[in-house]
Amino acid sequence: MAEQKGRIDRRTLLKIVGSAGATGVVLSACGGSPQTASAHSGAGLTGGKWEKTVPLATAGPGGNPNWQPGDAIKFLPSEKIPTSGRASDLLASLPKDKLLTIYQRMNASRKWETTMKDLFVGGKDRLYGAFHTYAGEEAIACGVMAALHEDDYIASTHRGHGHLIAKGGDLNKMSAEIFFKETGYNKGYGGSMHITDMSKGIMGMNGIVGASFYLAAGAAIRGRIRGTKQVSVAFFGDGAAASPYYFSAIRSCTNYKIPVIFVIENNFQYMGVPMATVVPTKYICEYTKGLDIPHYLVDGNDVTAVYAATKEAVDRARAGNGPSVIEGITYRWYDHSGFAGARAGVHGASGLPYRSDEEVRQWMSRDPIARFKAWMLAKKLATEGELAKIEADAQRAVDVSIAFARESKDPDPRAGVLNTYAAGAVPATQFFNRSEPASLS
């Protein structure tokens, strides 16, 4: 219609631009030829033919007009991760204890958040503040972390509990922070979005959308200068990908071969805003296809696919060849923040205005933890009994952490001025019992 009038509207233009060059990158990650410079690696990472399971809306709230009516993400059948193929073989080649650690951390992450959800909804504990759940997205954090060394860095997001737990974060300190207790990671002054553990290379969750790019780049440059071969991962969402800092950081990292892995967690939602509002392409990794770096598009609910892509990206970064982009397609089970539509004892939120319950159910049927478990069992990498024990132990550790948080002391209100930048320059006590303002000079 718009073309008939001699003008091309934005949507048509985007389709033309998108079809002109983006498909090479996307198809390469889906199993097509990986050989061209702009279509690095990634071939067969999911280990098999992708099949339709998750239809996406093309219009309306949550819809992406870049999709054709009837389009679907070409993913594997919901319940199965392929037990053969490159990604599967690569993950299966890891030592058993490492595989069990992945399963343990996926479970700890899910159970910790689910237990917190029950407590928030139950209303008996004094819980408040923002809490952005990662439930449903665990395969990305755990797949990425399995390819990192302990001293590599990660820069997280507001939705980062799963990143922390996947990198070995301490559940007791996490729970205590959510309860705002002095034993918490931030001594009870940070809450969910500021949990940080530099001893584990966790540069922190972050309430600033798009902050992870520069944090990761900065840490990676530090490693480069010191010759440590450490790499950094910047996690970010589809919304954050619209940040100008993304383009700025990825351009510089490419230019100077800075070892950063940019990991997009595409859950289709930018709070309640559909991804399409901020994403002018079908997939986010298409944005930067002009850069001659690897772009991987993977099933973000499949640990094997995420691990395989990350392993390649990390090897390349450590070898001094610079950054890569990995986009994991995934879904969050709960509301953007907090627990609207959630009930104690029930998984997933329903009745949210910006997505249908059917869509939530479909994605929950692709539960990354259940799929990983089925893969481990099918490959005979662990027994039912071993995995059941890990599940029970994970819940026990979560319960212990809640008890620890409840029993811990509230912070001394006066400690609120400690551990601030000002505290180094001005004795904190100057802020108390004074009639004059403290001098900062």
Ligand X SMILES: Cc1ncc(C[n+]2csc(CCOP(=O)(O)OP(=O)(O)O)c2C)c(N)n1
Query: 28: which 2 tokens?
Result: 């390469």
> Given candidates 190, 239, 322, 323, which one binds ligand X under the rule CB under 6 A?
239
Please state the closest distance from residue 357 (CB atom) to ligand X, in A. Answer: 19
> Given candidates 101, 269, 301, 310, which one binds ligand X under the rule CB under 6 A?
269
Q: How distant, in Å, are the alpha carbons of 226, 284, 370 from that of 323? A: 18, 16, 31
SS3 233: strand
DSSP class of 330: -
Question: Degrees (nearest 5) of the Cα angle 289, 269, 166?
Answer: 80
DSSP class of 197: B
Query: 389: which 2 tokens?
Result: 């024990």
Of residues 350-389, those binding ligand X (CB under 6 A):
none
Query: 364: which 2 tokens?
Result: 């929950």
CB nearer to ligand X: give 145 or 234. 234
Residue 237 binding ligand X, by CB under 6 A: yes
Distance (Å, whole) CA 143 – CA 294: 18
Please state the closest distance from residue 238 (CB atom) to ligand X, in A. Answer: 4
Please state the closest distance from residue 85 (CB atom) to ligand X, in A. Answer: 29
> Given candidates 138, 238, 312, 335, which one binds ligand X under the rule CB under 6 A?
238
Please state the closest distance from residue 239 (CB atom) to ligand X, in A. Answer: 3
| Binding footprint of ligand X, residue count (CB under 6 A) | 17
> Given candidates 208, 319, 340, 344, which one binds ligand X under the rule CB under 6 A?
208
End-to-end CA distance of the chain: 66
CB nearer to ligand X: give 265 or 312. 265
Burial class (CB in 10 A: 0-12, 13-18, 19+), 213: buried
SS3 100: helix
Distance (Å, whole) CA 306 – CA 87: 8
> Given candidates 65, 207, 341, 416, which one binds ligand X under the rule CB under 6 A?
207
> Given candidates 88, 267, 401, 408, which one binds ligand X under the rule CB under 6 A?
267
Please state the closest distance from residue 278 (CB atom) to ligand X, in A. Answer: 8
Beta strands in 35-105, from DSSP E residues, in sequence order? 51-55, 72-75
Sign of CA pseudo-dihedral 292, 297, 298, 301: positive
Of residues 140-199, those binding ligand X (CB under 6 A):
158-159
| String of contacts with ligand X for each residue 313-352, x by CB under 6 A | -----------------------x----------------
Please state the closest distance from residue 161 (CB atom) to ligand X, in A. Answer: 12
Of residues 400-429, those binding ligand X (CB under 6 A):
none
Residue 417: count of CB within 10 angstroms of its CB = 18
SS3 235: strand
Q: Which residues bind ligand X (CB under 6 A)?
A: 158-159, 207-210, 236-240, 265, 267, 269-271, 336
